[in-house]
Structure 1
Amino acid sequence: MTKLSVNVNKFATLRNARGGNNPDLIKVVKDCESFGAQGITVHPRPDERHIRYQDVLDIHEVVSTEFNIEGYPDERYMQLVASVKPTQATLVPDGPDVLTSNAGWDTVKNAGLLKEITDELKKCGARVSIFVDPDVAQVEGVAEIGADRIELYTEPYAANFKAGREVAIAPYVKAALRAEALGIEVNAGHDLDLDNLFYLKERIPFLAEVSIGHALVCDALYYGLDNTIPMYLRELNK
């Protein structure tokens, strides 16, 4: 079964737009889990424009499923993971000026850095996932680094899905199969939605986890959060 981890960044963005505590992020986390989510994802950034570092500490106190902390492995991120000890730490190559994740790591060029970081995170008891483009060479780089999982960056798949899903999915299947052969588990995330999720899972049936935030929050505006999360789960488990 592929797990659904709900990225709650967008709920924090909405809260921050007006100040105060509406929506209440802790209630959102509890509700997501009660409605069926099997994980909670956060991606704190240095400017705290959505998830704040204090939010991560607060969520850690209430989350009952898997907790995934994404981020660039700067000093503050490493300290946060060491303090919280989440189920999973997902490394992304975003600098502080990046609006949203838009590329995977070059795991060959950054092998030394990523191996050092991975070793340190594993000492905290975290499963380590590395955000990568659907490229076999990058997957093989992850194997050399010693991370547990990859997270396939799926924005190109989502962008090209309607024009030709077979072509769009092809590099992802190839990368995922190489990861499986190397003993690396496969996650996926970015721009996945109710239209393109099932086909991704159908073509990569051993997918371990998807992390979804923006599209799920947008759908919840129409369907309600209590209906939306089961809708995503159905797409994953048809």
Structure 2
Amino acid sequence: MSRPKSTSRWSAASTALAGDDEVVAETFKVLVLGGSDVGKTSVVRYFTAGGNVPRLLPTVGMDFTDVVVTVSGTRVRLRVWDTAGQERFFTFTKQFFRGTQGIILMYDITSMASYQTLMKWLQTIHQMGMESVVTVMVGNKVDLEGKREVPLQTASKLASRKGFEYIETSAVSGKNVHTSFYKLAESLIFSRGIFLPGEEVEARMQGGLTSSRAENGTFKVEDRSKEERRRAAISNRKLRHDSERERSKGSSGGCCS
């Protein structure tokens, strides 16, 4: 079945906390992957909280935020995991690939080194057998165009070869931040076959947003239960311990396959 031409619209709504009983068609686990300092946390926070965010310290471990989005009349929950980008955390991050349905693969357009790190993430995705996972490749910090080190054509060719959507974003100006997540949500919805029938989609689109407002989107940030937060904290402690153990093996001459 060929994918229909995209006619998506996002309904306007302000950010609001929502409970776990939010009615959605499906919940998708999404990992945000990329090297350190590429702006993963800033992009995620811009998407979930809106507006510019201050410079943040590097993420240690992993954390997630639930966001409800509506695409073409279909409401889904994106469980967005923000991951540590440092290479020493590659090992523990692999443990979280299980059940992943979507990936935001990010690099910094002003850093060729971050683009090379992206290649390592692609290798990890291949090793984990996750190449069929819906992926959007994001070149962040487009507000620093004058400092660009990674040519647009180079990145877009890679994305095309891999079958990824490619978008360039800025967590400073907000350019394409929402679009990157909505593109991912749209692809996930299509891949699962949960689009509404065309006639119903068109009916729900009547009086919808114009293209100039589509960047705002519809999303609700869900508050997690105490139990979910407790499990996440325990997992992070265990994963940090595993990471330290792997590094100790490496420094003592051991190796791992």
Q: Which TM-score band applies after superposition, normalised by the shorter structure?
A: 0.3 to 0.5
Question: Is the strand fraction higher in 1 or 2?
Answer: 2
Q: Which has the higher contact order (CA 8 A, sep 6+)?
A: 2
Alignment TM-score, normalising by the size of structure 2: 0.36
Question: Is the helix fraction higher in 1 or 2?
Answer: 1
Compare CA radii of gyration and give the structure with the larger one: 2
Alignment TM-score, normalising by the size of structure 1: 0.38
